[in-house]
Amino acid sequence: MQIEIRKRTTTNRKAFNKTARVYIWPNEKETVVEQMVNRRCRPHQQWRRDVMPKVIQELKLPFDTKYRWSQFAGCSCPCSPGFILDRCVDASDIHVHL
């Protein structure tokens, strides 16, 4: 598992002030078309159970940090699903490569 933190550089205040998002990228090689189909049905319950606790630990976030899955975490259309953290970690987008 590899974690990449991207600080937001947008000057759009509304976008900048959103709490941190965690985007998870599965390991399997997917074609662009598969990726477009699959991103609508990611195994987020499994990720919540198996992946997110490790992410919280790796990032040294408080153990009681809450997160919820949202199909609309990164965009107003369903192209960028992810977990929304309940507290701001320097307004970052956290990309987890499984």
79 counts as binding Zn ion under rule CB under 5 A: yes
Q: Among 1, 15, 75, 98, indicate the residue that binds Zn ion (CB under 5 A).
A: 75
Q: What is the dihedral of CA 9, 16, 5, 3, to 10 degrees?
A: -140
Residue with tokens 């985007």: 23
CB of 79 to Zn ion, least distance (A): 3
36 counts as binding Zn ion under rule CB under 5 A: no
Of 27 and 76, nearer to Zn ion (C-beta) is 76
Instruction: Count CA within 13 A, CB hemisphere, residue 37.
Output: 4
93 with 23: CB under 8 angstroms? yes
CB of 60 to Zn ion, least distance (A): 31
- Contact set with Zn ion (CB under 5 A): 75, 77, 79
